[in-house]
Structure 1
Amino acid sequence: MTDDTPDVARAIDEARAAARAAGLSAHNDAAEGSGDAGDHGDSEDAEVVGGPVTSFTWHLSGLDSAVAAGHLEKILNLVPGVQARVVYSTSMAWVTAPDSLSPDVLRDLMAQAGVDAWLTTASLRRRAERLNINERRRRMRRHRQSQQRDRKHRDSTAPQRRSTQTSATTEVLYTARALITPARLIVAVLLGVPVVAMQINSSWQFDNWQWLCLALSVPVVTWCAWPFHRAMAAGLRRGMSALDTASSVAIVLAFVYSLIAMLITDVGDAGWRNDPGWTAGYHDNGNGAVFLDVACGVTILLLLGRLFTRRTRLRSALALSSLRTPPSDTVTVVRNNRRGKPVKSEITVGEIRVGDDILVPRDGVVPSDGEVVGGRAEVDAGPFGGVDRHTEVTVNSPVYAGTRNLGDTLKIRVERTGSRTRLSAVQRWISAAERDEAQLDQIATRSASLLVPWAVVIASCAAAVWLLVTDATASAVAAALAVLISVAPLALALSTTLALRLGLARAAAGGTLLRNANTIHQLADVDTIIFNRNGTLTHGPMAVTGVTAAKGENPELVLRVAGALSLESTHAVSRAIVRADREARDAGAGGDSVPHWLETGAVTIDDHGTFSATVDLPVTDARTGETTTRHVTAAVWRPRDLSELADPALANAAVGGGTPLVVSWKGIARGVINVSDQVKRDASTAVEQLEDMNIETTMIARDTYPVARRMADMIGISTVLAGIAPGRKAATVRSVHAQGATVAMVGDKDVLDCLRVADVGVLMGSADRIDNAESDVVLLREDISSIPEVVSLVRHVRATVDWNLWLAWGYNVIAVLLSVTGLLNPLLATVPMLLSSMLIEWRSARITHREYTNRSTVVANWRPRRGKLRSWAGENLLPWQTR
């Protein structure tokens, strides 16, 4: 291939002719008219002309120079829909072309340019797959159609199997919400109220009034009460009792008894008058009685109550699912084209890759976790942002999927996408909580439905006793109706699950994830909370505040050794030491006497958290003054008590402030490095609130007792567990539990083993570890005040559940007793039944409206013992400490 312009122009013309022969239209007529190949090289990247594309990789032979490679690339890019890149150094070409373009056309073009080309093995395999893709799609389509036909056939031939799967849902035990309509209530009121009014007011009665009431009652008992009858029939088909079965039976019994009495007794006479009574002891006196007022009144009140219950149940069912933040469908991404220029393009959320820079405009939702690399704006952290949902972010600020931008456009660099985002992990928590709550709801509903058959049995027995004692059929029927109408299985079904569901949703809306309903009960029983010092009570990067060297040692060398041993660790203390060492090294501290770099062997970490390795250190001979490099064993460790430091200067430095780390080599302590961080500003207030809630606060730390005690006194923590090595923290938490305490452990991802052994594990400050199985509670907020808030919430939820249970059972027992003794009128029995359910719903709904930021008023029976200063070394108190 040469620089001869006629040859290049001829090759270009042949390329265009080949493209037209392949059925592709030219995409740059202006360029074609000019015939200037150089202009094409400076134009923008060729656009792919519609339809699917495929990629080829070619091995090239015959490229004489980089100029020849550039000419070949220009020739290939002239083909419509083709994007080519030719690399001279590797003698390879990468080509993206439409599926309709045969690779033989490209091979011929390159051959005409004097270059031999052949496809790589991977390209040949992809080409073969593309040729067979249509056949594969047809086979897959036929397979899916066959599966659908088989599934339909199985479903049509196995109706009994589907109908008997009652464990999957108990929704059939509730009256269908879609059938409880205002139209049914309006018709029931228009037709039923006159029936009730005429029957309870004898002055309004006239000849044949009872037959008019019967006619008015028919649509009320049938169409208006149909949702309750349908639920009863659906439950019977499944071998269960719907929650409104007793009311449905009462409506039917009242209507049927009245109809029979009017047909075969004097009740149907034109001049018959009803003698109203307000108790079940109706005066029969041989004149009979009708209960059309009961049939209509119960239907009206049930429809009214269930309309209210329907709205409450819908709100509670959506309480958790409403916390899901709807993501954006598309997003603007900034990527470099093959010329290295940044280009904006619209892509779907599923196409986002880690490392992409995305643009989130005003009112846009962040689709992925990442870090702000451009812009400043106020954002709404969404349902999981806690109290301070609206925060300002700037460059280097982390943002999470689901965050809404309230200001100017933000440029965000993606770090986690799809299922790895914090929002996806949160939604998995919510889905798991929904499944657990649904199972609990099934158990509660099935248990409450067992009250219905017992109510039928009690009603039958009550009717038999009344019939034997009074020989009055009307009184017996009235007592049975009162029992059936007064029982409230719905109140029992809602007494626990509604409050627990709303509690889970309220906690999640405040930035706290509770694993399931059982976590609410466990956290409400907690009387001791153990805080891990690092990651919970403090914030911000730790910093080295001082380096104290032993006599004759260089403090810069002490820091350099500690930095070399801590280089590979991700712990906050290690990062602080490495950062201080880097700053000192860049500033040239120590001069020529301290090596710029230290050669270090493999670092080992023991159960006590000691970092040790062999390090090449300069050693000066005292006699000759000659400095040589020798291999010595060095270590960085935390002192458990001051007896481990023989040098008084180092011992004083260890208790002088901050977290002390001892640097030693050759088995001798050479210096102490003090590292400190900032206590969270709300830590003291949160601890005080917990103490006022009768919860003993405890801090577990690796520091020596004086250092840990000083920090605990500053915050207000009552108990200190000091000198605990990382490998012994889990055993220490277990020992506190063994003393009879119900323990909640609060920590970050560094103490997951402690969270696992505690009664309740609370994960804090680890957005990337939400999915771990060790924690029962995840705090998405960084403030300590979220802990007393969630404790106050769960205690209120548990108190509400207990109160609801007492109310539901107490009402049912009292209502049945009043009904059996004849003191409760069947018509009025519906009112307390509905009021009990509505009262339980109202009390449960208060969970979502109450503020939990103030100190809780729920007081436990246990009081912490103030002033008890404990410190474990292993599992025993240190010799110089007392209980």
Structure 2
Amino acid sequence: MTDVTAAPAASVDLAIGGMTCAACAARVERKLNKLDGVTATVNYATEHATVVLAGPVPVQQLIAQVEGAGYQAREVIRDDAESPPDRVRAWWRRLVVALLAGVPLADLSITLILVPSLRFPGWQWVLLALTVPVVTWCAWPFHQQALRAARHGTGSMDTLVSLGVIAASGWSIYTMFGRSADLHSVGVWGLILQPAGSMYLDVAAGVTIFVLAGRMFEARAKHTAGRALRALAQIGARDVVVLDEDSAERRIPVSGLRRGDRFVVRPGDTIATDGIVETGVCAIDASAMTGESRPAEVAAGDTVAAGTMALGGRLVVRAERVGADTQLAHLVRLVERAQSDKAAVQRLADRIAAVFVPVVLVLAVLTLAGWLLGGAPAERAVSCALAVLIIACPCALGLATPTALLVASGRGAQLGVFIKGHQALESAKAIDTVVLDKTGTLTTGTMSVTAFEVADGVTRTEALAAAAAVENASEHGVGRAIVELARAELGEVGEVEEFRALSGLGVSGRVGGRQVFVGSARLLLAEVGALPPALDAMRERWEAGGNTVVTVAIGGEVGAVIALADGVRPSAGGAVAELRALGLRTVMLTGDNEATARVVAAEAGIDEVIAEVLPAGKASVIARLRPEGRSVAMVGDGINDGPALAAADLGMALVSGTDVAVGACDLILMRTDLSVVPAAVRLARATLRTIRGNLCWAFGYNIAALPLAAAGLLNPLIAGAAMALSSLFVVSNSLRLRRFEQPNSLPQTEDRLRAIVSVVDN
């Protein structure tokens, strides 16, 4: 536990113990938010609180605030190991004892009520002996939480359960020893509609059994729901072989790795941290982290990510980002934050749950008083009041959203879709238009020079050297292709001075004392003048063929025109077709020229093209579409896509893109296969349907059940079973999202993920 003051604008994760329903979560959240500079979100399903600190607040003060509300708290350390599901086993032990005593108790008590002639001397003591261990030791967690809540002047679901068990047991003991002569046969239908006579020992035991079973299955379901995230968090390496200055190898824990260290990756090794390959060639399997089943080959100069696996060859990698700074650690935190997110309707449910327990207690008292004032027998009034206490269940309200998000975010991570929060899901449900960037999104982003033509009086070597020197300072794919060609033909690239990036037009700089411009025809026209007719005709022909064309001006004169090609991703056509099948309009948005854009759009199956748009104009295009009544999703990957991603209703960024793009988006797509785009939309829609179904059930169950219980139409025993099953239904409904499949997903990816999950669970 960290006993220090957190830095301003820091974030702290707390594990919260003792919460048993949504009312508990709402209470803890309310107490934390009373502290100055604290914004807290408490998730009942994950039993975590995410606390954002706007000022210096000691972590111990946060913990004290939670404990002051009657719950336990501890700071979650990032490197904490996953503890075994001890809670499931603890519930199971109590459930076994409750079943061993409760089943014979129910059989015997019902038999003695139905057939009074079978009563024997001391039968009351036999029933009491079977009852005591169930309503004391087995039900102790409920009594303990109820007492803790009472000491703080609050109530929870356990308050209702504890009061119900105590009231049923107390009334039964009074009846057995004080009014045993009044016990009479009620018949089979009476057993269904009401408990046996006015003796409720079977109810006290039955409610304890049902609630224990519900808590056990709920704990197991929560553990299962978080399985995908745990698998993601644990795919990283545990140790690593580093190279000393004299290239001697030594194995150290991965926590000891530092930025700049050189480490060895052998076939079958998991790459320990994000880095750059210094030597070696190897195929890398990233399926465990991204769902991308096709291995990618890396060589010297390429980047590799933590959590991916080397399939063949030996690499020497220089560590660039370590520990919490790696891409894997960032993605795990992203999923955790998403799981703590709440929809507006869930916040309404939390507010209802916070007042639910006192309302139910008042309703139970009114039910008891109403039946007594109406002339009903005392046992009838007690039965109805017990049913009201037992049937009430705010748990389902608290589990409706977080369990669905827990499962969906984990399943999405397996498929390469990282959801930033509930807002992204709501936006994905509403979108009707998908705008796709061209370069690096619809196309591979890896360009190559396909043609090179120089002007009269200029040599190829001169033009290529000048263009490469300027482009070497640029990060654009066009620049990288020209630099690679220069290195292949000339062996080296010269130096540039006074480099400038001209947004959407090209680049400029001084090479060997001469001003050089490399960029679009518009740039050349503005800085030098029109292209010679022969070169201009060639430019038009190349663009009509789908090539990107850049012009080179040297010392105020036209130097050359260069054609470059960027292939359309093989998955683009299928992804666009699936987006259309989902009822979505598709638009391609690019800064490239109209002719080239049309060729790429036709190959991808897109009819609408918006071309020759400067980076600043992309956000304006999104803004223009929205007033037309469109709900727009933007898919991009580069720095110039950042404003458009932020402006869209839903931003989706390919993780191969820049950190700016990733930071501006709502969904992060980890795969180069564009089929992940419609998969993300379908997952978001499926998750929202699940959440709404959960909430409809949770609200509908309580709205229907409480009046029935108050009207005397529910046996308290049946009420207890229904209460436990309501929470189980919500969790089970959310777990269906684990079976969400992406079309054409490859078996080897799923097999790999199942293997990882198996290792984690074992």
Q: TM-score range by the shorter chain?
A: 0.7 to 0.9
Q: Does 1:190 align with 2:105?
A: no
**What is the CA-CA distance between 1:799 and the residue it aligns to?**
0.6
Q: Does 1:760 align with 2:650?
A: yes
SS across alignment from 2:707:
helix
**What is the CA-CA distance between 1:685 and the residue it aligns to?**
1.0
CA deviations over 1:511-563 (Å, ceiling 9, x no partner): 22222233222233332222211121222531122235568876766555543
Q: 2:568–2:603: 8 Å Cα contact kept in structure 1?
A: no
- Aligned partners of 1:597 and 1:408: how far apart in 2? 30
Task: Name the counterpart of 2:145.
Answer: 231
CA deviations over 1:702-745 (Å, ceiling 9, x no partner): 12222212211110124211110123222222322333322222
- Aligned partners of 1:410 and 1:632: how far apart in 2? 42
CA deviations over 1:589-629 (Å, ceiling 9, x no partner): xxxxxxx9999652333344343456779xxxxxxxxxxxx
Task: Name the counterpart of 2:80.
Answer: none
**What is the CA-CA distance between 1:787 and the residue it aligns to?**
1.6
Q: 2:282–2:311: 8 Å Cα contact kept in structure 1?
A: yes
Equivalent AA in structure 2 for residue 636 of structure 1? G
Alignment of 1:11-90 (within 5 A): none
**What is the CA-CA distance between 1:274 and the residue it aligns to?**
3.8
Alignment of 1:104-503 (within 5 A): 163-165=67-69, 177=87, 180-201=90-111, 202-203=114-115, 205-207=118-120, 209-264=123-178, 267-269=179-181, 272-276=183-187, 278=189, 289-317=198-226, 319-325=228-234, 327-328=236-237, 330-337=239-246, 342-350=247-255, 352=257, 356-361=261-266, 363-372=268-277, 380-381=285-286, 383-388=288-293, 398-405=303-310, 410-433=315-338, 436=341, 447-503=352-408
Q: Does 1:636 align with 2:525?
A: no
Q: Does 1:794 align with 2:684?
A: yes
**What is the CA-CA distance between 1:571 and the residue it aligns to?**
0.6
Distance 1:720 1:162, change over 3 A: closer
CA deviations over 1:358-415 (Å, ceiling 9, x no partner): 2234554322223455566665436313141766666666432223445565443444
Equivalent AA in structure 1 for residue 331 of structure 2? V
**What is the CA-CA distance between 1:585 and the residue it aligns to?**
4.7
Distance 1:508 1:443, change over 3 A: farther
SS across alignment from 2:668:
strand
Task: Name the counterpart of 2:696.
Answer: 806
- Aligned partners of 1:167 and 1:312: how far apart in 2? 22
SS across alignment from 2:207:
helix
CA deviations over 1:811-855 (Å, ceiling 9, x no partner): 221212322222222222222222222222211111112313369
- Aligned partners of 1:372 and 1:578: how far apart in 2? 20
**What is the CA-CA distance between 1:455 and the residue it aligns to?**
2.1
- Aligned partners of 1:283 and 1:797: how far apart in 2? 39
**Which moves more between the two structures, 410-419 or 188-197?**
410-419
Question: Which of 637, 641, 645 is residue 748 of structure 1 equivalent to?
Answer: 637
Task: Name the counterpart of 1:576.
Answer: 481
Q: Does 1:826 align with 2:739?
A: no
Distance 1:616 1:686, change over 3 A: same
- Aligned partners of 1:368 and 1:308: how far apart in 2? 37
SS across alignment from 1:181:
helix
Distance 1:237 1:321, change over 3 A: farther
Q: 2:573–2:604: 8 Å Cα contact kept in structure 1?
A: yes
Distance 1:581 1:188, change over 3 A: closer
Distance 1:377 1:439, change over 3 A: farther
Equivalent AA in structure 2 for residue 831 of structure 1? A
Equivalent AA in structure 2 for residue 206 of structure 1? R
- Aligned partners of 1:822 and 1:219: how far apart in 2? 29
Equivalent AA in structure 1 for residue 215 of structure 2? R
SS across alignment from 2:154:
coil
- Aligned partners of 2:127 and 2:724: how far apart in 1? 25
**What is the CA-CA distance between 1:227 and the residue it aligns to?**
1.6
Q: 1:369–1:422: 8 Å Cα contact kept in structure 2?
A: yes
SS across alignment from 1:720:
strand
Q: 1:261–1:288: 8 Å Cα contact kept in structure 2?
A: no
**Which moves more between the two structures, 716-725 or 666-675?**
666-675
Structure 1: give runs of 5+ residues left out of the alignment: 1-153, 587-595, 618-630, 856-883
Equivalent AA in structure 1 for residue 683 of structure 2? L
Q: 1:370–1:416: 8 Å Cα contact kept in structure 2?
A: yes
Larger radius of gyration: 1
Q: 1:638–1:662: 8 Å Cα contact kept in structure 2?
A: yes
Q: 1:180–1:306: 8 Å Cα contact kept in structure 2?
A: no
CA deviations over 1:243-277 (Å, ceiling 9, x no partner): 2332222211111222233454xx223x8434246
**What is the CA-CA distance between 1:303 and the residue it aligns to?**
1.8
Task: Name the counterpart of 1:130.
Answer: none
Task: Name the counterpart of 1:660.
Answer: 549
Equivalent AA in structure 1 for residue 582 of structure 2? M
SS across alignment from 1:678:
coil
Distance 1:380 1:241, change over 3 A: farther
Equivalent AA in structure 2 for residue 603 of structure 1? F
SS across alignment from 1:822:
coil
Task: Name the counterpart of 2:581.
Answer: 692
Question: Which of 435, 440, 447 is residue 542 of structure 1 equivalent to?
Answer: 447
Q: Which one has more relative contact order, counting CA pairs under 8 Å at least 6 apart? A: 2
- Aligned partners of 2:71 and 2:424: how far apart in 1? 24
Distance 1:513 1:168, change over 3 A: farther
**Which moves more between the two structures, 310-319 or 374-383?**
374-383
Q: 1:687–1:716: 8 Å Cα contact kept in structure 2?
A: yes
- Aligned partners of 1:351 and 1:524: how far apart in 2? 44
Task: Name the counterpart of 2:748.
Answer: none
Q: 1:485–1:833: 8 Å Cα contact kept in structure 2?
A: yes
**Which moves more between the two structures, 443-452 or 198-207?**
443-452
Distance 1:195 1:508, change over 3 A: same
Task: Name the counterpart of 1:73.
Answer: none
SS across alignment from 1:661:
strand
The percentage of counterpart residues that share the same residue type is 33
- Aligned partners of 2:297 and 2:162: how far apart in 1? 58
Task: Name the counterpart of 1:64.
Answer: none
RMSD, aligned α-carbons = 4.1
Q: 2:468–2:494: 8 Å Cα contact kept in structure 1?
A: no
Q: 1:748–1:763: 8 Å Cα contact kept in structure 2?
A: yes
Structure 2: give runs of 5+ residues left out of the alignment: 1-58, 76-85, 746-762
SS across alignment from 1:539:
coil
Q: 1:200–1:276: 8 Å Cα contact kept in structure 2?
A: no
Task: Name the counterpart of 2:595.
Answer: 706
Task: Name the counterpart of 1:730.
Answer: 619
**What is the CA-CA distance between 1:193 and the residue it aligns to?**
2.0
Q: 2:259–2:320: 8 Å Cα contact kept in structure 1?
A: yes
- Aligned partners of 1:828 and 1:486: how far apart in 2? 9
Q: 1:251–1:299: 8 Å Cα contact kept in structure 2?
A: yes
